Structure 1
Amino acid sequence: MKNKIIYIFLGLLVAIAIVGYNYYQKIFAPATTKNTQLFVPSNTSLAELTSLIKDVITDTDDFSWVASKKKFTKPKGGMYTIKEGMNMNDLVNLLRSGNQTPVKVSFNNQETLEKLAGRIAQQLETDSISLLNAFKDETFLAKHNFTEKSALGMYIPNQYEFYWNTSAEKFRNKMLSHYNTFWNTNRVQRAKQQGLTKTEVLTLASIVQKETAKIEERPIVAGLYLNRYKSKWPLQADPTIIYALKQKHGDDFVVKRVLNKDLEINSPYNTYKNVGLPPSVIAMPDISAIDAVLNPAKHNYYYMCASVDNIGFHEFAATIGQHNRNAAKYQRWISNQGIKR
């Protein structure tokens, strides 16, 4: 009888050890099979989350069991960094805590708020319609002295960190914060030295942006336009004519060559007819274009023409005679290329 009791007791110990080991394995054994980024949409149910991670973990039943023991029922949306070899306990803790990893969000020279919304929607959970509504919210724009036309200048092209499930409104508000940080004391002072407001700097920078893709040339172009502006000359900027044509015919309207008849277009953005800056940005200027306006090259150029000897750059001139020679050379070249519009 005594031996029988001992055997029963040992059997119970073995059974307890086996059960304990199984429980330990469920909770603390390596359970994730690879390094990955897990995107959990907002309002995801636990069952949907389990389906999302089925290819990342060793056993979905073990995940569900550990989740129930830890009373994890409501996943928090976001992007989570999953590391190979994590155990179920750590995985559940991560997803329950909402300790998500920020994502890198970047955008460059988007020409409209619509295109910006589309670009951001590719990188965050929120959709382009929600973003566009936030960008165009009249109360927000009025509060911060923007219009629907000028608002594009609030978004400084760069790379930023956001949580993947950031709402459209929070994205917009954070971009306003970045905008205010960008306009530090030094930049504001340099704008004043040029006799421009922040909005005017952005407007001129958008013209410089469109005029030349060569970063090293932008301070020269900015200096030329500032020479015209301060001398009360019309800016005569072809990019503003192209912008006006697109406003009239639609964003898909292609302009490879500005014609003389285009210079007659009735638009506040026609800088051949109107003296001074156009009413708003014509595109999203990047930092190099903005800083070119704030730190323009000092020279006596008033004229420029696309170069045929150094494609992508411009020929600059201080006199109309030299400019006419440069322009004639360019017109011959462009006609030889068969470019009519």
Structure 2
Amino acid sequence: MNKWIVRLLAAVFSLAALVAVAGFWAYQQTVQLAQQPLVVAEAQELALQRGVSFRKLGKILAEDKLIAYNWRWKLLGKLHPELTQIRSGLYEITPSDTVTTLLQRIASGDEKRFVLTLIEGKTIQEWRQYLQKVPHLSVDNDVFNKVLAANGDSSELPEGKFFPDTYQYRASSSIETILSQSYGKMQQQLAEIWQNRDSNLPLESPYELLTLASIIEKETGQESERPLIAAVFINRLRKGMRLQTDPTVIYGMGDRFDGNIRRKDLREATPFNTYVIKGLPPTPIAAPGRESLLAAAHPADVNYLYFVSRNDGSHIFSSTLAEHNRAVDKYQRNR
């Protein structure tokens, strides 16, 4: 009788040992799966719809030949339930990803991020054309006005009211949300800069400062010149002189502008033509960046009234018309 008990116990222990070995082997295989690099040569997108389960995700990855879907995937889910919380969205799989790093991203909802850049000096129309080509965003022609209305701005004049910057977004983001960030940032920047502006500027409101900054933005791309450009326009406003700046003429021409400004264009009475109207145009003519806003608020302490391009991106500044004419002859008329 004792021999049978001994044999039975030996068999039980042997079976337990085999189970333990098999379990350890299965565990090791699952660990290998978790650490396994995904088979991708270059980054690719993974779109997961709402309701996708952990098992369904495994089948999706297997269909894309990124993993082999078998018992190891199911065991991985049992050993690490925190990795089975699948959140819908658009994710990116990179060549450096393992099964675990991808699952961690999906479980935390860390979706693929995109960027769009609203470039300073561009108009709303130019931005609208750009945004219509940005991936995963739906943009209609009235989106800027919709954002104004959503933010309590009833003017329906979006030009210049959105801050040029680079913005991150996800495929699930809305363009309205992104542009609301841009609108809010411009309002914050403008309020701060207006509050700290130089005293005695011939500007009656933050909106006038915004309008002046937009002209400065269009006139020069050189940061060091912006306070000088600002000084010319501020000095002209103080003296009641017309601003006579070409970018306002171009803006007033709209789609008719073909790259050239003719004499008849300078004489055309549009609301924006500062060769014809006095003071500032009725709205900004582009999106100014922070440096142009600061220049409008803090112009250089100089008595310049004129400037002309050197045709290399820089300008010659003059205090008198005679000096200006000589600079024009040298750099524009090639005399």
- In 2: Cα distance, 1:48 partner to 1:138 partner: 37
Q: Is the 8 A contact 2:213 2:288 kept in 1?
A: yes
Which one is further off, 280-289 or 184-193? 184-193
Q: 2:118 aligns with which of 107, 127, 132?
A: 107
1:331 CA displacement: 3.8
Cα separation, 2, equivalents of 1:321 and 1:176: 43
Indicate yes or no: 2:316 matched with 1:321: no
| Selected match of 2:206 from 198, 206, 210 | 198
Which stretch of the first structure deviates more once superposed, 297-306 or 136-145?
136-145
- The yes-or-no answer on 1:181 pairing with 2:188 is yes
Q: How far is 1:204 from its partner?
A: 1.3
Structure 2 residues without counterparts, runs of 5 or longer: none
Partner of 1:300: 303
- Call closer, same or farther: CA 1:160–1:180 in 2, change over 3 Å: same
Q: Are 2:152 and 1:143 equivalent residues in the alignment?
A: yes
In structure 2, the residue corresponding to 1:190 is in which secondary structure? coil
Per the alignment, residue 339 of structure 1 pairs with none
CA–CA separation in structure 1 for the residues paired with 2:286 and 2:265? 19
Give 1:77's match in structure 2, choosing from 70, 89, 103: 89
Q: Larger deviation: 189-198 or 52-61? A: 52-61
**What is the aligned partner in structure 1 of residue 164 from structure 2?**
157
Please give the TM-score of this superposition, normalised by the length of structure 1: 0.76
How far residue 215 of structure 1 moved from its aligned partner, in angstroms, is: 1.5
- What is the CA distance between 1:269 and its match in structure 2? 1.0
Residues 177 and 30 from structure 1, CA distance in 2 versus in 1: closer, same or farther, beyond 3 angstroms?
same
Question: Out of 143, 158, 165, which is 1:134 matched to?
Answer: 143
Distance 1:298-1:61 versus aligned 2 partners, 3 A rule = farther
Secondary structure, aligned partner of 1:305: strand
* Pair 53,93 (structure 1): closer, same or farther in 2 beyond 3 Å: farther
Give the one of 250, 254, 257 matched to 2:258. 254
Q: In structure 1, how many angstroms separate the alpha carbons of the residues matched to 2:316 and 2:331?
A: 10
Q: Which amino acid aligns with 2:261?
A: V
Q: For 2:190 and 2:183, locate their aligned partners in 1 and report how far apart those are by CA, in whole Å.
A: 11
Q: Is the 8 A contact 1:32 1:86 kept in 2?
A: yes
Instruction: Say whether residues 1:18 and 2:19 are aligned partners.
Output: no
- When residues 171 and 262 of structure 1 are mapped into structure 2, their CA distance, relative to the original with a 3 A threshold, is same
Confirm or deny that 1:96 pairs with 2:107.
Answer: yes
Write the distance in 1 (CA, Å) between the matches of 2:295 and 2:126.
25
8 A Cα contact 2:59 2:69, kept in partner: yes
Kept after mapping to 2: 8 A contact 1:224/1:302: yes
Of 31, 39, 44, 2:36 maps to 31
Q: Taking structure 1 as reference, are residues 80 and 212 closer, same or farther at Cα in structure 2, changes over 3 Å only? A: same
| CA deviation after TM superposition for structure 1 residue 219, in Å | 0.8
| Residue 6 of structure 1: aligned partner | 10
Residues 49-88 of structure 1: pairs in structure 2 closer than 5 A = 51=60, 58-61=67-70, 65=74, 70=81, 72=84, 75-79=87-91, 84=96, 86-88=98-100
Query: CA offsets, 1:164-215, max 9 Å, x none?
Result: 5322222122223322332354543317752242222221112111112222
Letter of the aligned partner of 1:233 in structure 2? M
After TM superposition, the structure 1 stretch with the greater mean CA deviation from structure 2, 95-104 or 34-43, is 34-43
> How many angstroms apart in 2 are the aligned matches of 1:237 and 1:38?
48
Determine the structure 1 residue equivalent to 2:179.
Answer: 172
1:210 alignment partner, SS class: helix
State the identity %. Answer: 23
Cα RMSD, aligned residues only: 3.8
TM-score, scaled relative to structure 2:
0.77
Q: Which letter maps to 1:325? A: R
Alpha-carbon deviations, 1:111-152, whole Å to 9, x = none?
A: 2334324545666632344xx54323176267125434xx24
Deviations 1:42-94 (A, max 9, x none): 74674589657977954455786368754957532255686946454x64343
Q: 2:250 aligns with which of 231, 242, 258?
A: 242
Q: Across the two proteins, how many residue pairs are aligned to each other? A: 322
